[in-house]
């Protein structure tokens, strides 16, 4: 199995915008060619966890207007209070922390179903169930936001991510969107952080994925 992890040997390296794109597409190609790698990335085994939870948010951030021209970004492996370093053209280093609410048991359940059966059938059977899931997601996301608000990130920029593609597919009569609720909560929360951003992962195409990044404060 260890040979499949070698595709991520170069995960923690400084890359500019173009190189971030090239590395993302390289991993994407390896996943498409190799079933074992596909299964490992679904289960977030080894450094595939860092690739999903740190590299991909960094990749999205690098495609946004908030990533300065000629800047480079590097994923940092380990626990040090931040997930990435962004080196600006003048040599100045900025720290970034990527964070999101993750429903671990559900992700494992989905990954195992896809790996074993090749399919995942959502258990949603009614609008009420969907509303319950939306409410639960929002409350757990708020808890993650509150947790980050209690910590000292004075020299770090916080980058929150929400994955809402499945949860936002609702009838038009609903008068709010989850992303609006999360955005409002972030704006109302006091952080000891350099800057705060929000990535709204709504399943859009790679070409416009940089538009998913919003500066909160």
How does pLDDT run across 42-58, given as a tens digit for each residue?
Answer: 767 778 888 888 999 99
Chain centroid to Cα 170, Å, comes to 23
Nearest-angstrom CA–CA distance, 210 and 21: 12
- The yes-or-no verdict on residue 111 having pLDDT over 60 is no
Neighbours of 12 (CB within 10 A): 17
Nearest-angstrom CA–CA distance, 82 and 193: 12
Pick from 61, 50, 54, 49: nearest CA to 21? 61
- The yes-or-no verdict on residue 174 having pLDDT over 80 is no
Q: The dihedral of CA 106, 204, 159, 188: what is its sign?
A: negative
Range of 171's domain? Answer: 2-215
The predicted-structure confidence for 124-150, as pLDDT tens digits, reads as follows: 444 457 777 788 889 999 999 999 999
Angle between helices 35-43 and 17-33 (to 10 degrees): 120
Whether 171 and 127 have beta carbons less than 8 Å apart is answered as yes
Q: Which of 14-23, 114-123, 201-210 is the most confident on average?
A: 14-23
Nearest-angstrom CA–CA distance, 45 and 47: 6
Longest alpha-carbon distance in the chain:
54
β-partners of residue 156 are 95
User: If you count them, how many residues does the chain have?
Assistant: 217
Confidence of residue 87 (pLDDT cuts 50, 70, 90): very high
Measure the N-to-C terminal CA separation of the chain; round to a whole number of Å. 43
- 196 half-sphere exposure, CB direction, 13 A CA radius: 21
SS3 category, 214: strand
Whether 124 and 133 have beta carbons less than 8 Å apart is answered as yes
- 137 half-sphere exposure, CB direction, 13 A CA radius: 22
What is the domain count for the chain?
A: 1
């Amino acid at each position: 199995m260890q040979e499949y992890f070698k595709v991520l040997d170069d995960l923690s390296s400084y890359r500019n915008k173009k190189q971030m794109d090239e590395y993302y597409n390289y991993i994407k190609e390896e996943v498409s060619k190799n079933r074992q790698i596909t299964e490992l990335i679904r289960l977030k085994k080894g450094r595939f966890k860092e690739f999903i939870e740190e590299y991909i948010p960094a990749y999205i951030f690098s495609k946004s207007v908030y990533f300065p021209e000629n800047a480079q970004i590097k994923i940092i492996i380990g626990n040090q209070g931040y997930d990435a370093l962004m080196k600006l053209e003048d040599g100045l280093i900025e720290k970034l922390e990527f964070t999101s609410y993750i429903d671990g048991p559900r992700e494992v359940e989905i990954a195992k179903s896809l790996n074993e059966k090749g399919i995942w059938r959502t258990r949603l059977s009614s609008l009420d169930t969907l509303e319950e899931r939306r409410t639960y997601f929002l409350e757990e996301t708020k808890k993650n936001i509150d947790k980050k608000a209690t910590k000292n990130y004075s020299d770090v920029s916080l980058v929150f991510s929400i994955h809402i593609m499945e949860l936002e597919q609702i009838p038009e009569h609903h008068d709010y969107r989850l992303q609006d609720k999360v955005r409002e909560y972030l704006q109302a929360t006091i952080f000891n952080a350099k800057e705060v951003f929000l990535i709204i992962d709504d399943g859009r195409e790679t070409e416009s994925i940089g538009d998913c990044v919003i500066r909160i404060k």
